[in-house]
Amino acid sequence: MNGNKEDTNKKDTNEEIVKLQKVYFSYADFVVLEDIDLNIYARDLLALIGPNGGGKTTLLKIIMGLLKPSSGTVVLFNKVPNLTRSLIGYLPQINLIDISFPISVFDTVLMGRYKGMGIKYTREDLEAVKNSLNVTGVFSLKDRHISMLSGGQLQRVLIARALVRNPKLLLLDEPMSGVDPEMQASFYELILELNKRMAMVFVTHDVSAISVYFDRVACLNKRLYYHGPKEGSLGKLEETYGCPVEILAHGIPHRVLKEH
């Protein structure tokens, strides 16, 4: 992976698109996020790991403006989140999708082109759907019902739905769940290819992939343990680890990161 050299470039040349400062979030009395500072740059590929219930999805929702932080500031593309939704692509967790729902692959992706009440889909929208289905390699499945797809194919369809809005920032919530092991490599290739055009936040439990594919790792367990670019950060990673990562990857994640 030649990520190291690129990393330096990225920091210098790319604009900052997400800036979270001192963000807190709680549901009633239950604190979910505490003192989160996070910066994402235009070509970042950030892996977000952390135990279940650590607040990963909540953090994504705050970035999208679906949830308001209890305190702290969120700035996206130099604006408040609500005004920037058209710049964000989102892939929800696959287990939230009801695959028995009566909708075809094409219509699922077309949903992503929604621009407002009463605004009809144009030929341009249909073309955009075609394109994203081609980019993610599932165009041939366009007329299928979504229940007639494998887990990996469904993920590709949902990524196409996120891409069809031409986002500058793509938030992927556990995109690898449901993807067959033998399909994972090609899936990561797709992600890296897309990363040339947009920043990505990639929530994952697949810690072994982190060392191979990702520039930056952030671990979220109420607080964010942000590890920055890989170089030089691994020592710090060890010191600062307040994060019980072992919960999330069969007990070996620390070693995976250390061996690197």
Partner 1 sequence: MEVFQYEFMRNALLAALLVNIACGIVGTYVVIKKIVFISGGISHAAFGGIGLGYFLGLNPIIIAIPFSIASALSIGIISKKTKIKEDTAIGIVWALGMALGILFINLTPGYAPDLFSYLFGNILTVPVSDLYIMLALDLFIIIIASVFHREFSSISFDEEYSAVIGIPVRALYFVLLCLVALSVVILIRIVGVILVIALLTIPASICRQFTYNIKKLVVASIITGVVVTISGLILSYFLNISSGAAIIILMSAVFLLSFFIRSILYRYKKLRSRKVN
Q: Is 66 in the site for partner 1 (CB under 8 A)?
A: yes
- In angstroms, rounded to a whole number, what is the distance separating the alpha carbons of residues 70 and 219? 21
CB of 62 to partner 1, least distance (A): 13
**Binding pattern to partner 1, positions 77-96, x when CB under 8 A?**
--------xx-x-x-x---x
Q: Is 235 in the site for partner 1 (CB under 8 A)?
A: no
User: Tokens 């219930």 map to which residue?
Assistant: 53
Q: Which is nearer to partner 1, 96 or 182 (CB)?
A: 96
Pseudo-torsion of CA 231, 6, 62, 49, nearest 10°? -40
Q: If residue 49 lies in a helix (H) or strand (E), which one and from where to where?
A: strand 45-49
Q: Which is nearer to partner 1, 128 or 219 (CB)?
A: 128
- In angstroms, rounded to a whole number, what is the distance separating the alpha carbons of residues 97 and 176? 15
Name residue 41's beta-bridge partners: 16
* Structure-token pair, residue 147: 């229940």
**Binding pattern to partner 1, positions 96-135, x when CB under 8 A?**
xxx--xxxx---x--xx-x-xxx-----------------
Q: Which is nearer to partner 1, 2 or 100 (CB)?
A: 100
Closest CA to 81 of 64, 106, 57: 64
Q: Which residues bind partner 1 (CB under 8 A)?
A: 28, 64, 66, 85-86, 88, 90, 92, 96-98, 101-104, 108, 111-112, 114, 116-118, 145-146, 161, 165
